[in-house]
Homo-oligomer: A and B are copies of this chain.
Amino acid sequence: MHRITILYGAPADPEAFERHYTEVHVPLASTLPGLRRFTRSHPLGMGSAAPAPYFFFVAELWFDDEDALKSALKSPEMAETAADAQTFDVASMTMFTGEVVESVF
């Protein structure tokens, strides 16, 4: 599958961020054409270490293939979703895409 990963840095107001993310952003992102899965995770550090500050929250949007991902990126739904993301009061926002390959073992 192909995936868009978004790493969010710490929000100024974590509670407000979670609320807006759940109530507004997830419904918007869920309209993206070709979206197969939408996974979220709150990173924990390893052992006693806190995770880096730009790893407050990770969201992943999964698509069947590269074409589906590229179509979603160019869609009006993505424009609306991205516009909403611009309102987030977070320390950083890092996006990348890539094919996700299963290791055979």
Contacts and interface: CB of A to CB of B under 8 A. Distances in A.
Copies in the complex: 2
Nearest to A4: B46
Interface residues of A, number: 32
A51 interface: yes
A66 to B, nearest CB: 10
A96 B37 contact: no
A63 to B, nearest CB: 13
Q: Is the interface of A mostly helix, strand, loop or mixed?
A: strand
A95 B46 contact: yes
Interface of A: 3, 5, 26-27, 29-30, 37-46, 51-52, 55, 58, 73, 94-103, 105
